[in-house]
Chains A and B, each alone.
Chain A
Amino acid sequence: MKIKLYSAKTALAAVMLIITTMFLHSTSRAQDETQHDREVVIVLDCSKSMEDVDSQYLAFDFAKGFAASLPRNCRMGLIAYNNGICASVPIGSSSTEIEKGLSELRYRQYGNAGAGMEAAVALFQNDQAEKRILLISDGEIMMDTNDGTVQADQLFEQSVAAAKEKNIVIDVLAVGERIQDGYTVYSAADDTGGALYEIADTAELSAYIVKYLFDEWGTRGSHIGKLDGTAAELTATLPDCMMEKVKILLIGNQQNENVTVNCKAGRIDMSKGRRYTVIDMHAPVSQEVNIQMYADKPMQVDAYFFAEYSFRINTGHFYEEDAQTAHIWIEISDTEGHSLMDGHLGSGAMELYLDSEKAAYTISESKAWIEKVYSQSITAQIELRFLDPAGNYYGIHEAAEEITVPIAEEEPDDTDWFFWSVIVLFVAAVAAVFGISYRKRRGQQTIRRQVADMSTTAQVENTVPKNDFCGKIVVYVIHNKNDIDYPPESINLFARCRRESITLEWILDTCNLPLDLKGAEKIIFKPGADRSLVIKNNSRASVLIGRALLTKGQSYNLYYHEKVTFIFDQEDAEIEVHYKDLKPNER
């Protein structure tokens, strides 16, 4: 009899374990992104005197190469000055815009470094970012009149002081021989805690791209080889093809022609100057990148590469009560949902820290698994560190997983017959209620659907069973706070979407639209009759089909060739979702 009782107890524990596991699904908490932004403005002296030290315009070449090489967390602007400001490109501009800004410029007139510095300081808007100015000049502040020179110098001093106040560090890249007399710009470096680099030959400037990127700013990158002679070939092997972007920098003396790149990628952009080539590959497909360069004169080119990954962490666990062990899993996926563990991360290129201690992990099912004994409920802190020498990872590196340990049943000294009778009766009663309810529902031909977000108070829907998602949806961002033009994105639902329901948040995530709309997870789409989509809005957003405003909590059908509009007042965003059928060749 005792054996039977124990087996009943084991069964109850198993039920409890299942219930515990069911309810202990992922509750990972988002933490602030650790990657910080960096803003840099290049201030370029375009006075006539620069021509003496830079007749080849290699300072321009440096600025263009620098712009093309930057990693994604670094945004750049540009100011060029002579008598006044002759070019101003705001922070965040693309390398093409920088190149365009420089295209018409020549060294001429005098050098009003004050105006240049003032304009550069004014370009910075983001208080959170690390800010830096790179001033490239022959060092001289000189205007056509004495008064003008004095004024320019005073303005320079004031602007440097203003920069210091705003925590902007100024590095001075002084080209040519150091000027001893007159008004100069050298002091700006000392005043703001920056560095003064004296560069005799502007050909050396290109080396500063590497210095800033990898030495100063800690961008992870690798030196992958050299290209020497008049004909050179280099094959770089990427660690995997999971990255969003790879940049290959070819820095050094080269001819402005004849580069061949052999590889496959979603998109390849190439920027080329006299002393740099930047190959920018988006979504690489082939792991091998073959580069060939030819020149009339021998080249001296160093090749570097760095990769950029976007990732997000999902965590979850199940608790093994007998062993009092939580099996925590960590899934690291890219923006399209592919697990990064399938790439080189799966072979030990990362470390996991659980509650600030390095934890051993195993990889299985594209997830990393950690085991730890917990005797009481706790929030486990998980930290992810990448060991990849050339990989830069953008995403949240930390997550928290709430481990709930079920309260252990104390072993009764004696068998409490009354207690066990009550339990058995209770279980029988619950089973009977479930059984009746199940039969009743089957009789009504309804099914109970799982609502995506368990925390919402969404009512259970009664819909006709066997409806599958079909057709496709096209998402148009009509308006957003930053007025960015996001290209329309479509999601093929037919035979692709295995879920029972989807949310607007899922749609936006799948479309890679970083809008972060509050309540989007409470707008639910399900397959309905006649190939319709059933939409239910539980959020504060205004939802319109045609001119009709959808009542909160009520379901509506969206048929083919109809559209639904979502207006999020709080985020100042408006989205249209068009529902369309699929042509046979689209399936």
Chain B
Amino acid sequence: MSIIKQTNRTLLFEEINPEKPDILTLIGDVRGIDSLSDEKIKEMNGALLVKSFDEFIDKFDPTVYSFFNANNQKIMYTLKKPETIPEEMLTLIHLNKQNDFLKMLMSLVEAKRSQSIINVDFQFDKLTDMISPKKVMEDIKQNRKELQYVYKTYAELEDGDPHKLDVADKLNVMFEEASVNYNNVLAMLPLAIEDIKTRLLLGEAEEKKNNTPLALGVLSMDENGELKVLEAPKAETSELMVVDDNVNAGLIAALEEDYEALNEESSDYVKALVTRTYCPLASTMVSNIDIRQEVNNYNSYLEFYKTAKDDFIKVVKPLIEKILGVWAFFEQYPSNIKGMKPSMFITNMSNDMLVKANNLPRLIAFLNTVNAKNDFDNTIWYGIVPSVSLDQNSNIRLTRQRFQGNENTEKTGVNSVEALVRLLDVLKDYSVQCFFSYETGDKTTFNNMATEGIEKYEDRCSSLIGKAYSEFAVPCIPNFTIIPKEKSGVILDNRMLLNENNMAELSKEKEDIMKLWIDGVYVGAAYIAAGLVAAYQCPEYLKEMFKKNVDAELPGVRFDIESGDHPLRVHTVMAKEITGFTNSIKNEINRHSFGFVFSSENAVLGTENIHNIMVYKARNLMSDGKVYEPIYKTQVTTYIERILRHATGDFKQENIIQFFSNNPSSQKSRWQEKRGCVNAVIGDGDDIEYEIDEANGYCVLNITFNGNVKNLEIEINRFNSNNRAM
């Protein structure tokens, strides 16, 4: 650990926000240079390296741009900032933890994890309604309560009281958050929908429909002692429900002023809506409201909200899946552990652009700088390429369309196998293990794999086998499901209609239920595979999982996650999705030991039931003709090579001999001492031997893993200043 302080930095090949710097822009021109300066690497780390999900959101600020199209009366959304549209016409929607859609998805994962229920039994609709207007209003109600309380405190304090300034600061923050809703008409829609519903349906009892209009009354006894509810005198009023009139009058004034300041074209309707939402008035329902108009408004708002949300989800889903992927990557490492925390370097650009022949030398120059030096602080150990195209040839349509089926629209952001191959060809030269997963959708889920097996993945990988880079290609299957396609419907609300008494009521007709379909949200398996492997590199993490037999100094490079009870102890934080794979599917996986395969199985460790998804196989695509090689072998070999290069002054022959000598202070002896540890570099049954080929200037290391030998050839350093001179 003193030489190599981290073995888990991960390079994510994805574009998050095109407005933020990307790897190529930061690297710049590499004509005539093989590597980058330390300042440049520092600058790149500043812009593209993240160590937590919060830092990721801060640095990359994933954003969706929306603008209104007057021609079709629709809101348009786009992930790329439209350059021709003036700034003031664009609305930016930041996809952060406050975004209702993202928040809903993250809550889903957490709820599933805590309840340990498989997909088929999980009540997705309980959480998906988080994006319905009702839920938005509930959130606002909570905020409103806090706002009123703080404003009351503020109003009660004397001017000049220093505490009043502190409260004012707090109030400013709360107003800022509230203003997110009222300076954006779209965000006002759920408020308006709920507002109308509240005003028009106030008289409707929960259990029984009442056809008489509501009139507020007082309970009293008449002259005969009969109990009666007498109608209270109606008054056009703007009185406040809350008793303390002064406080709320002040709050209303403040909200109105703030609304007007933020909106150049303010409308009285919206202004009233804002104040009603944040500071409800009494008896507004007795005002002379045009019920028909309000019902129409309600229906059109709901329709508009549904369309807008629908369009928003369609556009944002690929980005959301990337964000959730990054979130899932960091989630694998518990936040309470303070050790070798996984870090992620994000290219922030499309892979099609990155792998162009004229751009690859720039990536090479970067990797040459961080991976080909004897400084390992910035070394990249893993790569993630999610969303690799699963279709060999997407043009072929071999079924006649008898019914309207899924449109095979060309998925944006899908990486071609050709792009993956170009990346792998570069990554192998820098010993970066590349975790890749196939495009998300219902064809690559646990459910699908449980019924169809892994043949299609093996077929798709066939072109990557038997190549020099096969050792560094790790196909991760299956992808994780956040919301399954068939359970992704969200009921927003029902349409409203006027009944025979001219009263508004919610329609109970099936076609009047406003429902939108999220169409499934998934996370690429590569994020979670890389996240888990990065997590178990940390000795503290292993200590937390194993409690004993863990060396505090050594990274988990030799940790074999397939062996013994390792998969039961080191598992993902994702909850089980299905009941498991059938024995025939497992036999199929075991036959060649293909891929980095996750399993959703019943398992017990001691007395504890495991409710999480575990790793079933962890293999790369290097095959001896029968089985594929475990990924740890590649990482140990890389680790030993790097340590050896550092310790021997770039492979000086005499130092190599010393490195492997039986002297107790030699590196090999020190590794052998820790043989019994879970994270030993040379474990039980392992050995390292070397042979020096003096004639050709090579040293061949024979690294034995449980009896299987892997060769590593290194060139002995025999250069001197004379023979390198021109």
Contact = CB atoms under 8 A, between A and B. Distances in A.
A257 B398 contact: yes
Interface in A472-498: 476-479, 485-488, 490
B393 interface: yes
B19 interface: no
Contacts of B622: 585
Contact of A530 (B33, B364, B422, B724): B724
B357 A487 contact: yes
Nearest to B368: A561
Contact of B429 (A256, A476, A580): A580
Interface stretch (B45-53, B165-173, B711-719): B711-719
A530 B719 contact: yes
Prevailing SS type, chain B contact patch: loop
B721 interface: no
B34 A546 contact: yes
B357 A488 contact: yes
Interface stretch (A25-33, A215-223, A265-273): A265-273
Contacts of A529: 723
B396 A271 contact: yes
Prevailing SS type, chain A contact patch: mixed
A272 B31 contact: no
A546 B33 contact: yes
Given A272-B398, A583-B713, A477 B357 contact: yes
B623 to A, nearest CB: 11
A569 interface: no
A100 B395 CA distance: 10
Contact of B32 (A255, A270, A479, A546): A546
B397 interface: yes
Interface string B424-439: 0100110000000000
A424 to B, nearest CB: 47
A4 interface: no
Contact of A478 (B358, B422, B713): B358
A557 interface: yes
Contact of B357 (A100, A269, A486, A586): A486
Given A530-B724, A547-B33, A556-B726, A478 B398 contact: no
A259 B398 contact: yes
A476 B34 contact: no
B399 A256 contact: yes
A488 B425 contact: yes
A551 to B, nearest CB: 11
Given A256-B397, A259-B398, A530-B724, A563 B361 contact: yes
A491 B82 CA distance: 43
B141 to A, nearest CB: 45
B90 interface: no
B711 A584 contact: yes
B356 interface: yes
A99 interface: yes
Interface in A522-536: 529-531
A562 interface: yes
A394 B421 CA distance: 30
B471 A478 contact: no
A477 B398 contact: no
B684 interface: no
A578 interface: yes
B178 interface: no
Contacts of A531: 715
A271 B715 contact: no
Interface residues of B, number: 36
A531 B724 CA distance: 11
B400 interface: yes
Contacts of A490: 425
B146 interface: no
Contacts of B361: 476, 478, 563, 576, 578
Contacts of B396: 270-272
B364 A578 contact: yes
A206 interface: no
Contacts of B32: 544, 546-547, 565
A256 B398 contact: yes
B230 interface: no
A563 B34 contact: yes
Nearest to A266: B463
B610 interface: no
B360 interface: yes
Contact of B400 (A257, A477, A488, A546): A257
Contact of B358 (A269, A476, A562): A476
B418 interface: yes
B372 interface: yes
A473 to B, nearest CB: 13
B356 A255 contact: no
A115 B78 CA distance: 32
B397 A272 contact: yes
Interface string B358-376: 1011001000100010000
A581 interface: yes
B424 to A, nearest CB: 12
Nearest to A583: B468
A578 B712 CA distance: 22
A446 interface: no
Contact of B399 (A257, A485, A556): A257
A510 interface: no
A544 B468 CA distance: 29
A476 B356 CA distance: 9
Residue from B31, B33, B396, B726 with most neighbouring chain A CB atoms (10 Å)? B31
A547 B418 CA distance: 32
A584 B400 CA distance: 50
B655 to A, nearest CB: 20
Contacts of A154: none
A561 B372 contact: yes
Interface in B686-726: 711-713, 715, 719, 723-724, 726
A530 B723 contact: yes
Interface string A308-339: 00000000000000000000000000000000
A486 to B, nearest CB: 5
A557 B726 contact: yes
Interface string A134-167: 0000000000000000000000000000000000
A259 B425 CA distance: 35
Contact of B715 (A544, A563, A581): A581
A258 interface: yes
Nearest to A565: B31
A96 interface: yes
B395 A477 contact: no
Contacts of B711: 584
Residue from B31, B357, B397, B713 with most neighbouring chain A CB atoms (10 Å)? B357
Nearest to A269: B393
Nearest to A548: B32
Contacts of B31: 544, 565
A96 B356 CA distance: 21
Nearest to A547: B32
Contacts of B393: 269-270
B395 A99 contact: yes
Nearest to A99: B395
Given A257-B398, A488-B357, 15 more contacts: A478-B357, A478-B358, A487-B418, A487-B422, A488-B360, A488-B425, A530-B719, A531-B715, A544-B31, A556-B726, A565-B32, A578-B364, A584-B713, A585-B471, A586-B468
Which 7 A/B pairs are nearest by Cβ-Cβ distance? A547-B32, A478-B358, A586-B468, A256-B400, A257-B398, A584-B713, A476-B357
Interface of A: 95-96, 99-100, 255-259, 269-272, 476-479, 485-488, 490, 529-531, 544, 546-547, 556-557, 559-563, 565, 576, 578, 580-581, 583-586
28 contacts: A100-B410, A255-B400, A257-B398, A257-B400, A269-B393, A270-B393, A271-B396, A476-B361, A477-B358, A478-B358, A485-B357, A486-B357, A488-B360, A529-B723, A544-B31, A546-B34, A547-B32, A547-B33, A556-B726, A560-B715, A563-B34, A563-B361, A565-B31, A583-B428, A583-B468, A583-B713, A584-B712, A586-B468
